[in-house]
Amino acid sequence: MPGAKLDIAVAGAGIAGLAAAAMLARDGHQVTLFDQFDAPAAVGSGLMVQPVGLAVLAELGLDRDLIARASPIRRLYGRAVRGPVVLDVRYPDGYCGLAVQRAGLFDLLHGAALAAGAVLVPSTRIVSSQNRGEKIWLGAESCSIGPFDIVLDCLGSRSVLCPRPAPPLRYGALWALLDWPVGAGFDDAALEQRYHAASRMAGVLPVGRTGPGSALKATFFWSLRGSDHDAWRNAPLEQWKSQVLQLWPECSPLLDQISDHRQLTFACYAHRTLHRPLSDRIAHLGDSYHATSPQLGQGANMALLDAMALAVALRGTPDPLAGLERYAVLRRWHVRLYQGASWLFTPLYQSDSRVLPMIRDRAMGPFSRIWPVPALLAGLVGGRIGRPLAQLGLKLPAPWDV
């Protein structure tokens, strides 16, 4: 049964908002996308699209374009400084993660949304919503916008439309997009990390190219307490660089590219899962529904799955509210599973605990090599635990050669 054609507002033009706008506009809905930016632009450095996320992008016809600009990641590898290997996850033969610059994925989804007929309204900061009978209105800073049949809240972990705010986690991270350090010894098909206890962590991730023939880029990140960010920004940059080199001397060619604090962006994380991703004709997607740390690298993939689930749910009913309820059911268990896994793993890699990293260093390396743990870890990292694609009528992409 085809769903009713709806007038839908999407608040927030991130990955969840753009993907949902593209899918719903293709289904014939009237979609208006609002964001506070003056011109369309991505915020952030790099991310990984897993096989489940690629399956969603294939539905939009964007999978080959993403593969063309991404770096294939076949291994996740991390070790404690002067210590044991504590993370070594390899993808099954024929599969990999796809690391891409956030701007690259943004551009693909932005183009798909506009091509499908979605209307983008920039310079609009959403501050509230109000139900009026069978319609809902959005409040901007200087006006009321509407009416709409439903609203999609894709404003992130600090969304003003979310019924419960997400308090920040103690640790965030500094991120920089840099040139790939050719000849420095890094694996261009791996996410590599180094740890000192759980209070210091550095990572290097190849994130593909902006276009054919362009230079390979890298994302560099450094774990940092949110309360220490101001002190870091006010201290000499060389002081921070010396800390990084003590942890990971091979990072010198990357640090040589950083001459100003403003080259690094601080990302603040939160952990919160809404019991129900619905409120007052609003569906919450992405971080507004399930904010978490990036330890499992699933943020973009979860957002894509949310968008796909909503599109599938609305196709199956002429009643938009029944469609929203169906969306909540489709995403419930997969979201809870990965939110629980993130809650469990994050303190092992980002916390002030002294005991947890000792357990991690002594147990995780040996344990991760015992059958069937390697396959389970690969499934967890790939987003496949809980079979999220089967519920959406999708299949895992066939192994690809990249």
Q: How many Cβ atoms sit within 10 Å of the Cβ of residue 83?
A: 14
Report DSSP letters for 325-348, one per residue. Answer: HHHHHHHHHHHHHHHHHHHHHHHH
CB 191 within 8 A of CB 99: yes
pLDDT at 22: 98
Report DSSP letters for 112-152, one per residue. Answer: HHHHHT-EEE-S--EEEEEEETTEEEEEESS-EEEEESEEE
Which runs of E-coded beta strand occur in 13-134? 30-34, 46-49, 71-73, 75-80, 85-90, 97-101, 119-121, 126-132
CB 219 within 8 A of CB 177: yes
Q: What percentage of the chain reaches a pLDDT higher than 90?
A: 83
Least confident of 80-84, 109-113, 201-205, 305-309: 80-84
**Band (2; pLDDT cuts 50, 70, 90):** low
Reported as a single tens digit per residue, the pLDDT across 132-156 is 889 999 999 889 999 999 999 999 9
- For 393, half-sphere exposure in the C-beta direction (CA atoms, 13 angstrom radius) is 9
Q: Which residue has the tokens 């002190």?
A: 231
Reported as a single tens digit per residue, the pLDDT across 29-60 is 999 999 999 988 887 789 999 999 999 999 99
Q: Which DSSP helix (H) or strand (E) runs through 193?
A: strand 190-196
Reported as a single tens digit per residue, the pLDDT across 101-114 is 999 999 999 999 99
283 has a pLDDT exceeding 60: yes
Please give the C-alpha separations between residue 25 and each of 8, 34, 155, 255, 331, in angstroms, as whole numbers.
9, 15, 19, 44, 21
Q: Are strands 150-153 and 7-11 parallel, antiparallel or unpaired?
A: parallel
**Band (3; pLDDT cuts 50, 70, 90):** low
- For 303, half-sphere exposure in the C-beta direction (CA atoms, 13 angstrom radius) is 31
pLDDT at 1: 45
357 has a pLDDT exceeding 50: yes
CA–CA separation, 178 and 216 (whole Å): 9
For residue 102, what are its two tokens?
């956030």
188 has a pLDDT exceeding 90: yes
Least confident of 152-156, 337-341, 384-388, 395-399: 395-399
For residue 313, what are its two tokens?
């749910």
Average pLDDT, the chain: 93
- Sign of the torsion angle spanned by Cα atoms 28, 300, 373, 93: positive
**Band (386; pLDDT cuts 50, 70, 90):** very high
Average pLDDT estimate for 166-184: 95
159 has a pLDDT exceeding 70: yes
For residue 98, what are its two tokens?
């796809």
Q: Is 383 exposed, middle or buried (0-12, 13-18, 19+ CB in 10 A)?
A: buried
* 3-state SS assignment for residue 231: helix
DSSP letter assigned to residue 267: E
pLDDT at 400: 58
Average pLDDT estimate for 371-390: 91
CB 138 within 8 A of CB 34: yes
> CATH homologous superfamily for 7-167+270-391?
FAD/NAD(P)-binding domain (3.50.50.60)
